[in-house]
Chain A
Amino acid sequence: MSSRSASAGYDRHITIFSPDGRLFQVEYAFKAISNSGLTSVGVRGKDSVVIATQKKVPDKLIDPATVTHVFGITPSIGCVVTGLEPDGRTQIMRARQEAAEFKYKYAYDITPDMLAKRMANINQVYTQKAFMRPLGVSMIIIGWDDERGPQLYKTDPAGYYAGFKATAAGAKHQEAFNFLEKKLKSDEEPNAEDSVELAIATLSSVLSANFKAQDLEVAVVTKDNPVFRILTADEIDAELTRIAEKD
């Protein structure tokens, strides 16, 4: 097999291979996502899909209405970006551009899986060309597909993407994955209410927090209303109350 070969030291600075076949810059990009301190989750149900993320306003003087990580991309597709905020905004701008160009070229709305694939392919380019670093964001995309129903996809700095029944990104994503795997073991797809509840419950559990409406951002797409909708503070409050009263 190959002898122990020394790297020139650049494998940590740009996306070239390390001796054991790793891309350190990509791995460091993942660390940047965890360092952002926020966690997001997504849950796909039978007729709905929901995303939820923490809302942390770092300073009292900041206008809370302008602090958001949840963005619409097309009327029926939206996402939550976790990681470096400026990188996140770049990705959102690009995603919106890709979706608009698609509509212009093909005369129908892009579907969540195609958008996820396109964003993932763009991320892959940054892992192979030295002139641009990978972006420190993970994008959880939700949307309604006319043929397939509710869709949930996640992209990451490695250029990987997959469809999920439930997923998480950010600081506590591993704990969130463990929690969600346990809850969704039965293979039964939750209904709309239960998906929202599961998403919020996951965040509460891994962050050991009792949320108030202003600490959360939630967005849904449902069969009855296949548009990407960000819940208002009152709606989140109603959900939290409903969950509290259930126990």
Chain B
Amino acid sequence: MDRYSFSLTTFAPNGKLLQIEHALAAVGNGATSVGIKAANGVVIATEKKAGSSLIDVSSLEHMVMVCESIGMVYSGMGPDFRVLVNSARKAAQKYRRIYMEDPPVRILVKELASIMQEFTQSGGVRPFGVSLLIAGVDDRGPNLYQVDPSGSYFPWKATAIGKNMVNSKTFLEKRFDNDIDLEDAVYTAILTLKEGFEGQMTEQSIDVGVITTIPTTQADGKQKPPRFQRLSPAEIKDYLSNVA
């Protein structure tokens, strides 16, 4: 293990960190994911292409909850994503132990980005082959962030990552406006994925996650903070039927 106490990501003569560029190529080979920040919430969605009809799609976890108010999706290498999901969840709980509430999105993003940066500099490891889209609601309202293999992070109003990101972003630029409602944003996200989708898009082949800024009122009158939710296949089917 000590034989690899040197970094595998090193500067090329032209000043580039090639391993990071290659990691971005791995992201570009991955299924497309989109995210839209609405006036009253955030939506993230991804293609969930099962390589075979024999795969039990209910076992695939592409859209995950990090903590109650933050969700995450990726483009790139699935196994690397799982590692970051665990790191994100742990980081969120660590924050909770100290401050007794969920971390603000920007704080969690910084933590994850820092982890991803470490893997571009530490000895004997390669960068993560994923870009993340992190959606959440906090004191500042709705948030949508992208985190890259390099550890750079960007706040977005709307964006796409993965195979079809260029066309998807053009599509989004045309349809986005600052006052977009969350419902419309969900439709737009699904439409954006549909643009680049090969074959027939069904409720089994995409995953959609939503969080609204509006707290829910429980039966006992208490207000619960908004919760990140994965849409069920039935709900996605509803959206799809209205979009076809």
Contacts and interface: CB of A to CB of B under 8 A. Distances in A.
A21 B24 contact: yes
Contacts of A17: 19, 22-23, 25-26, 126-127, 129
A195 interface: no
B234 interface: no
A245 interface: no
Given A21-B25, A130-B125, A164-B56, A5 B16 contact: yes
7 contacts: A5-B21, A21-B27, A123-B79, A130-B4, A164-B54, A164-B55, A180-B54
Interface of B: 1, 3-4, 8, 12, 16, 18-19, 21-29, 50, 52-56, 58-60, 77-80, 82-83, 86, 119, 124-129
Given A14-B8, A130-B4, A131-B4, A124 B56 contact: no
A90 B27 CA distance: 31
Range of interface residues on A (Cβ < 8 Å): 35 or more
Max count, chain A CB within 10 A of own CB: residue among B24, B56, B86, B127: B56
B90 to A, nearest CB: 13
Interface of A: 2, 5, 7, 10-11, 14-23, 44, 113, 117, 120-121, 123-124, 127-131, 152-153, 158-160, 162-167, 177, 180-181, 184-185
Contact of B80 (A7, A128, A131): A128
Contact of B25 (A20, A127, A164, A165): A20
B126 A158 contact: no
Nearest to A120: B79
Given A158-B79, A185-B53, A21 B124 contact: no
B89 to A, nearest CB: 13
A185 B170 CA distance: 38
Nearest to B59: A163
Contact of A181 (B53, B77, B80): B53
